[in-house]
Chain A
Amino acid sequence: MSHTPVYIICSPRPLVGKTLMARLLSEFLLLKNGNVVSFDINLKEPSLLDYLPKTTETADVIDTYGKMQLMDRLIVDDGIAKVIDLGFHAFDEFFKMSDEIGFLKEAARRRVAPIILFVADTDRVSARGHEMLLRQIPASALVTIDNEYVVRGELPAAMSGGRIVRIGALPAFLKTYIDRLNFSFTDYLRNEKDSSTELHQWVRRNYLGFREMELKLILQR
């Protein structure tokens, strides 16, 4: 039996597309597996909970109780994929805590597979955050998200070495469209008859990217 995946979408910067990634990935996993549990650790950004209230729970890493509520759920090998939308304010604390409590080692023992999806940006805070992750996370569990809308085709060289998932930029009017709270990527794929639309292809491309990422992770285990 395969490991239970835990996808942690993170960046030390706000407004780089973490919640968009979390929405896309959660909807993809829900479509593929029939279930997913997402955790929203955002206080200051657009909230995943608003988009996917049926599959999302809120969590925090401010105090020990919050950390217990979150991490004791993540460490369970229940076969249900988890998606964490980690707000920028929680980035340092989450990885400090993970390192201290030995999250990765315990996860490996319990057949849980954490995958860190680092949403890249071109600033120094992101560079430092990425360096920290490189020291802490095995290369096999670290994926860089190259969001064209954020890095504009200039992914820093230091972040280009490992595994990369590319997210194409959408035109502004489509971005506004998908930002509506009642928009669902999967519903759009199912209901939109014209599969040649830019948005249709964008969603399919991203779902395909996730499928390839999953496959590579399974093959390397």
Chain B
Amino acid sequence: MSKPVVIVVGADKGGVGKTTVSRTLLDYFSANNVLTRAFDTESPRGTLKRFHPEITEIVDMTTTSDQMKIFDTLNAASPSVTVIDVRAGLLSPALASLRDIGFLDAAKTGQITFAVFHILGPSIASLDEIAETANFMSGAKYFLVKNFINDTQFFQWDQATYNSYFHRIKDATELTIPKLNEMAYEQVEVSSVPFLKFVANKGVHDEAANYSFVLRGYVRHWLANVWSEFDRIKLTDLVGATKPVTRGGEK
């Protein structure tokens, strides 16, 4: 049996696109035939569950019972990949809990593959989280995700500031999520389907839908760009997938 893989998607700042990135990950794994389960920590309402109800469970990561639900089932669960969408403000406490229960040590010794997608917002406050989160990252794959929810530059115009944040952690890998057209994003929100289904013009129950061709085109183009970033960091290798597949979300 392959090693369990846990991917935590989080940020201490709200509104930076954590759930959006989680959704792209679930779509990516689905397109690559990687069986995945997801946990949405936005208890009691879960945005991720709205888009991926079949594979998502809502949990409260601050409770021991729900922590057990996630981590005690890692070896038993049939999908070997677990994606956890950590709600705003909970990333550092969640990582602290993982350290306390010995999960990070298990990752360090190679029993578990552990990756953190740290979603960054376009502010100094958001960038300050990097230093805090970095303390927990030994043994983990750490991805700094620059999510372009607006036209932010992430201080690239000021090399000193940029370097002080992005080059502080030796083994962190940078990832760029481009901006999605606002109307396209809203249309997917309204339709409550995964990005992949939206591109394929399908409704919640796989019925034929009637989404705008233009908006579907924008989503397809954007999703292909996001996935090319996932390809770049060899995400399928990380989760132990072997067979490359033709993916419908790409042009």
Contacts and interface: CB of A to CB of B under 8 A. Distances in A.
Given A72-B213, A101-B220, A106-B213, A64 B183 contact: yes
Interface string B190-232: 0000000000000000000000111111101100000000000
Q: Which of B213, B214, B215, B217 has its CB near the most chain A CB atoms (within 10 A)? A: B214
B196 to A, nearest CB: 15
Contacts of A97: 214
Given A68-B212, A72-B212, A101 B217 contact: yes
B182 A100 contact: no
A64 B181 CA distance: 8
A20 interface: no
B221 A101 contact: yes
A94 B181 CA distance: 15
Contacts of B243: none
Given A64-B182, A105-B251, A100 B221 contact: yes
B184 interface: yes
B212 A102 contact: no
A65 interface: yes
Chain A binding surface SS class: helix
Interface residues of B, number: 14
Nearest to A75: B213
Interface in A96-117: 97, 100-103, 105-106
A64 B216 CA distance: 12
Interface in A49-99: 64-65, 67-68, 71-72, 75, 97
A170 B183 CA distance: 46
Contact of B251 (A67, A68, A75, A102): A102
A64 B184 contact: yes
Q: Size range of the interface on A? A: 10 to 19
A106 B201 CA distance: 12
Contacts of B215: 64, 68
A67 B220 contact: no
Contacts of B216: 101
Contacts of B251: 102, 105
Contacts of B181: 64
Contact of A100 (B212, B213, B218): B218
Nearest to A73: B213
Interface in B168-188: 181-184
A65 B183 contact: yes
A64 B179 CA distance: 14
A71 B184 contact: no
Given A64-B182, A105-B251, A72 B214 contact: yes
Contacts of B184: 64
A102 B220 contact: yes
Contacts of A100: 217-218, 221
B108 to A, nearest CB: 43
A100 B221 CA distance: 6
Contacts of B218: 64, 100-101
A106 B215 CA distance: 13
Contacts of A68: 183, 212, 214-215
Interface of A: 64-65, 67-68, 71-72, 75, 97, 100-103, 105-106
Interface of B: 181-184, 212-218, 220-221, 251
22 contacts: A64-B181, A64-B182, A64-B214, A64-B215, A64-B218, A67-B214, A68-B183, A68-B214, A68-B215, A72-B212, A101-B213, A101-B214, A101-B216, A101-B217, A101-B220, A101-B221, A102-B220, A102-B221, A102-B251, A103-B217, A105-B251, A106-B217
